[in-house]
Structures are given as structure tokens and as C-alpha cells.
Chains A and B, each alone.
Chain A
Amino acid sequence: MQLPDFVRTTTFRWTGSAFAVCIVLFCALVYWEAAGYMLAKTDAALNEESLAIAADPPARQLNAIDDRLSQDPRHIKLAGLFGADGHRIAGNLESMPHDLKIDAPVQNAAAIRIDQKGPEEMTVRAIARSLPNGNVLVIARNIDELKGLAEVVARALMLGLPFAGGSGLLIGMVLSVRAQKRVAELNTLVRHIVAGDLRQRLPTQGLDHPFDELAEIANGMLDEIEALVQEMAGVGNEIAHDLRTPLTRVRLGLERGRANAKNLEELQTVTDRAIGGIDQTLTIITTLLRIAEIEYGGRLAGLDNVALADLVREVGDLYEPIAEDKHITLHVASGDDATVRGDRDLLLEAVANLVDNALKFTPAGGCVELALVHGNNESIVRVSDSGPGIQDNERKAVTRRFYRSDKSRNTFGFGLGLSLVAAIVKLHGFRLTIATGPGCVAEIACALPSVLMSSC
């Protein structure tokens, strides 16, 4: 039984209490209004009756009183005619109620009734009128029936409260159980997802329900995670593939060398080639480890002030002969004299990687530009080239490990460069953008420390 579960919920308790209080208040209001109405009607009737009897000639008055008392199946009517000295002439009142004011509006009074089992004291609504002959006429009515009304209302409450409470409880239970079912459903699904089934999605009912909102947020998160996991799996496959290729080559070479080498020199040639292949795989592994280290290390060791212009010039200086060899013009423009906080070695590596890439993908006769430009509160290192550029759909993928643009499959390189750059840039809290001009335009936007400081 799930009852205790939702009974314990705060919502359920508050709703229940509020519901009960409302019903009690409602009944009280009903009683209050009904009693007031009855009293007003009684008073009006008493007033009218007293006026009618008082208007009768004295001889008819006795009959009128008797008539009134005889037409009273519920025994609630009282009447009395008293002489000027207060003695009883007719009616069922033992005496003139002592607290009753004469010729005043209808009021409460204590009366003693004598026509039944014996004298009976009761509270009544009464009116007293003095007659022209000196007698006093009292017309009254027992209002004990108002107590009856209270009893009726109380009975209604007794009957209605459990009913209303029951139905409230039932509705609450149904809603709670539904919500709980939903939660249980979500729990099961989430457990499946945690167990590794990332294709599962939380169901939405198309209603503007908080649960739906939550489910949608969770689903968005799952989409992201699934994409990442797939990417990782893809990377894993690519790593395995990219490592297997040179290793297979090494293995084949060694096998053939072992079988066919006729002298030491030939064997050495084979061995050198094998070492080259192994170095290649080691480079891949080392770079991957570096990326992981930068991505998950999350902290800068050699944090210092780095003059970007110097850094750009150094990279330009380093790559100029390479560009020249490939018949590519390398323009270096270090216009901005900005200094940023960062790790010089890592930043140098990032910029060098971008230039390395640009030179790799630019055909002979083209040009590569390495420029430092001043941006809005940041200094931008821009590397642009006249190469084939990057397709829109490839732009995001290029910063993923091992991605190599299809056009450049035949170019040496392991496609890890940009991932490394992305990791370094992210570690610094800078921004890497890759866009397509005519060629490829890669930018590292470095936030200036002065901005960070003055904003503190």
C-alpha cells in the first residue's frame, strides 16, 4: 500500500487541513445565515399577530388567543393576556415575563409555560402590547427550534464532512498516485539510463506540466551526453584505427625484413623504418595524453604575463623558413601590444599549431597570415590562410580529436592539432573560433587581464 507515502507529503497534509477548515467554516456560515433568517421571520410574524389580536375588540381577544394556541401542532406558540395588575386572564403563560418591556420590539424573554406537563421554563421571542382597556397582551414563540437547526446543520456536517473529506482524500490519492506513478516511471527509466541505455528518453505528455518541463530538460541533457559518448566512442575507434595503421605497417616491415634481409645494412634499414612507425604511434599517444592532461588537469602551472606580440613574432620566426620552402607567403603582423595572463609555453604551442595547420592545408603559391589585432577588451590572434577552408558542417568537428578534413586525408598529420589548441584555449578561459573566409580563419580571443581586474 502506497498510502503512507503520500500522506507523509507536506502538500497532502496542508491541502487536507485547509479542506477540512473550509467545510467547517462553510457550515457555520450556513447556520448563521439560516438562523438569522428564521429569527427575522419569527419576529415579523409575532409582530403581525400581536397587532391583529390587539386590534380585536376585547371580547374577541380571548377567542383569538385560544385559536392561536389551538392551531399549534408543534407546541411552540405562547400567548397571554394579563390584567393591569399583572394577573393572568387567559393564555398559556404563567405570568408576565418580568424582563419583557411593554410596547417594545420583539425581544428575548424568559417565560414559564403552564399548559403542558407542568410549568416549564424556556427562552422565547416575545412582544408585549398594552391594550386600551389596561390589559397587556403577550405573544411569544419558543425558539428552541433554532437549536434544532443547529443540530440539523451539525448533522449535515457530520454526514458531509466525512463524505467531502473522503472524496477529497480520494481525489488527492488519485492525483498523488498518478504523480507517484510518474515519478516511479521516471525512476525506472533513469535507472535504465544510468545502467548505460542512453537512447532512452523521458516521456512527455504534451501538457504544460512541471513534470514535462523537467523531462524536457533531462532529455536535452541526455541528447548532449549521448552525443558526447558517441563522439568518445568514435574517437576511440579512430584512435584504434590510426594506431593500428602504422603498427600494422611496422609489423609487416619487420616480418619481411626478418625473412628477406640479406645483410646487416638491409636489416638496419628495415629496423629504422619500424622505429619511425613506432615513433609515429608514440606521437599520437603522447599528444592524446597531453590533451587529456590539459583538459582534465584544469590548472595552469606556468601562469605569467605573456606579451602576445613577442609570442606571435616568435612563431612567425619559427615558421617562416617552412613557409618559404612550401612557396607560401607568411605575413606576420603583431600590431597589438597586449599582455595577457597565461602559460607562455602552452600559448606558443597553440598558436604554433594553428600556423602549422594553416601551412599544411595551404597549397603552394598561397599565403598565410598571422596577425595580432586589438578587439573589444581582448586581443585576438588570428591565423588565416588561402587554403580550401572548412565546410560549415565540419567546423565544430575539427576541434574534435582525430578529425581530419576529408580533403586533406593525404596530408601528413594526425588531426589532433586543433583539439590540442581547443584544450589550451579552454584552459585559459579564452575563446577559439574557426570560420571560413575565402580560406580558413582561426582566432584565439584572449581576454585582457586589466579588464578582469577593473571589473572586480
Chain B
Amino acid sequence: MTKVLLIEDDDETAAEIAAELVHRGFDVERAATGPEGLDKARSCRPDAMIVDRLLPEVDGITIVDALRQEQVRTPVLILSAIGAVDDRVRGLRMGGDDYLTKPFAIDELLARIDVLLRRPIETRETILRVGSLELHLIKRTAKRGQRAIDLLPREFRLLEYMMQHNDQLLTRAMLLEEVWSYKFVPATNLVDVHMGRLRHKVDMPNEAPMINSVRGAGFILRAAS
């Protein structure tokens, strides 16, 4: 069972997140203070950690920093109530793998944990394959079965990221961050429009859809069944 360590001082938020994680089949370990969290991180050997930025006694970033000093490579998602412009930068620089600002949708949190847990293995593979979909990273070409797909550079980048994270829910914010390195969510439904374009090219009307929308959450790329 995948073990997640949740270090969060607000009891209600922690209970809510833990319940959702348990519901999704995770084994959840909780800590409410910095030192306790650090102890558990060392003793329980979690697969992933969710760390609140502001904790009593020892600050979240300090915990991550301490673990990284000890060569603990566990993926960490930092939670913060302050979306401070530089806080995110600091959090990531100190060894956090992802950063989420409160308030957040629980789906957003789960999607990010999923991505952290299933980080793509560094491969020298130059061709990505999902079902009948193929993406040639050197030649910059794509095809589904025998049908060649003509992609614009931005569409190529989007599809590449989705194929690296196939079968995972990718939220709009994650796509904006990873594909466009956008750190904010614009008012216009940018991602939907771009996704619409891509879907139009990937899924022909006569083909089983590979790009699936998850209402209110994001998108999943799956091999057509």
C-alpha cells in the first residue's frame, strides 16, 4: 500500500485530506507539528509527503530542507495558505517537488500526489507510446495507428506531457504550470481551448476517445479501450 505522510497542524483540514486519501486507497500517517513530522518522515519511510508550509515549532520548508540534507528523496508536496510570489520559488528551491496554494480542490491535491508518486522514470526513449498513439520526440512527429497527426509546437508539448503522465488526472493548473510554465490560473478557459484543439486532432469522430475530460477537475489521456 502506498504510504503518504501528512504534516498539517490544522486538525480539520488534516482530517479532510486524510479521509480523502484513505478513500483513494492510501495508507495515511499524520503529524501535527514540525518535529513530529520530521520524526515520522525518518521512521515511517513514506512514499510521498504532504507538508504544510506554516507549522508550529519547525517550519515546513525547514523540514524538507533537513530531509534533503539527509539524502531522503521522498517526493514532497508543499501546502501553503500564502501564495506569496517568492514563497513558491523558495519552497521548490528547498527541495519541495510541487507546491499548492490553499484553498485548493481536493482533486487538485490528489492529482498532484499521483503525479509525484508516478514520476516518469528518466528514459532515453525517443518514442512515447500510449495505446496506438505514438510520439516521436526527435522527429517531432505523431501518429495514431497509421494516421499521421500534424501538430503545432504547443500541441506537441501538451501531448508529450500528457503521454508522459498517461492514465493520470491532469488538472488545468498542472497543465498550465508544466506545459506553458504559467504560475497562475487565467480567467479565460485557456486550457480547455487548447485541449479542444488537440483532442480534435487526436480523436477523430470515428475513433474511440483517448483524451477524456473529468468534470470540474481536468483531463486524462488513456489508451482507447
Q: Please give, as numbers and ranges, the residues of chain A lying within 8 Å of B184 by CB-CB distance.
A: 290, 345, 349
Query: Hey, which chain B residues are within 8 Å of A352, CB to CB?
Result: 182, 186
Q: Is the CB of B185 within 8 A of A343?
A: no
How many angstroms from the CA of A279 to the CA of B216 in the assembled complex?
A: 10
Listed in ascending order, the chain A residues whose CB lies under 8 Å from chain B are: 272, 275-276, 279, 282-283, 286, 289-290, 293-294, 297, 299-302, 314, 317-319, 321-322, 325, 343, 345-346, 348-349, 352-353, 356, 359-360, 412-414, 417
Of B18-26, B65-73, B79-87, which binds chain A?
Answer: B79-87
Residue of A282, A319, A353 near B190 (CB, 8 A) is A319
Query: Using Cβ atoms and an 8 Å threshold, which residues of chain B touch A294?
Result: 85
B125 to nearest A CB, angstroms? 27
Q: Contact partner of B188 among A346, A360, A414, CB < 8 A? A: A360
CB <8 Å contact, B85 and A346 = yes
Q: B31-70 toward A: CB 8 Å interface, digit per residue (1/0)?
A: 0000000000000000000000000000000000000000
B193 touches A325 (CB 8 A): yes
Measured between alpha carbons, how far is A289 from B101 in the docked complex, in Å? Answer: 12
Q: Do B187 and A413 have beta carbons less than 8 Å apart? A: yes
**Assuming A325-B193, A349-B183, is B85 touching A297 (CB within 8 A)?**
yes
Contacts of B83 in A (CB 8 A): 286, 289-290, 293
Please give me the 9 A-B residue pairs with the lowest Cβ-Cβ distance, nearest first: A301-B86, A345-B183, A321-B193, A322-B193, A301-B89, A349-B184, A301-B85, A356-B188, A321-B197
Is the CB of B119 closer than 8 A to any CB of chain A?
A: no
- CB contacts (< 8 Å) of A359 on chain B: these are 188
Q: Which residues of A contact B154 (CB under 8 A)?
A: 317-318
Chain B residues within an 8 Å CB radius of A346: 85
Cα distance, A456 to B190, chains bound together (Å): 43
Q: How far is A332 from B14 in the complex, measured between Cα atoms in Å?
A: 47
- Report whether B216 and A276 are in contact in the complex, using a CB–CB cutoff of 8 Å: yes
Closest-CB distance, B185 to chain A (whole angstroms): 7
User: Are A343 and B188 in contact, CB atoms less than 8 angstroms apart?
Assistant: no
For the complex, what is the distance from the CA of A359 to the CA of B188, rounded to whole Å?
10
Q: Which residue of A lies closest to B103 (CB)?
A: A282
Measured between beta carbons, the chain A residues less than 8 angstroms from B185 are 283
Q: How far is the CB of A167 from chain B (nearest CB, A)?
A: 69
Closest A-chain residue to B197, C-beta based?
A321
Cβ contact within 8 Å between A302 and B188? no
**Nearest CB of chain B from residue A352's CB, rounded to whole Å:** 6
The answer to whether A356 touches B216, judged by C-beta atoms less than 8 angstroms apart, is no
Kindly report which residue of chain B lies nearest to residue A290, judged by CB atoms: B83
List the A side residues contacting B197 at CB < 8 Å: 321
> How many whole Å from A238's CB to the nearest CB in chain B?
17
Distance, CA A279 to CA B185, complexed state (A): 12
A371–B137 alpha-carbon span in the complex (Å) = 32
Q: Which chain B residues in 153-193 approach chain A with CB under 8 Å? A: 153-154, 180-188, 190, 193
CA distance A276 to B105 in the complex (A): 11
CB atoms of A318 and B180 under 8 A apart: yes
Residue of A nearest to B182 (CB): A348
Bound-state CA distance A299–B84 (Å) is: 11
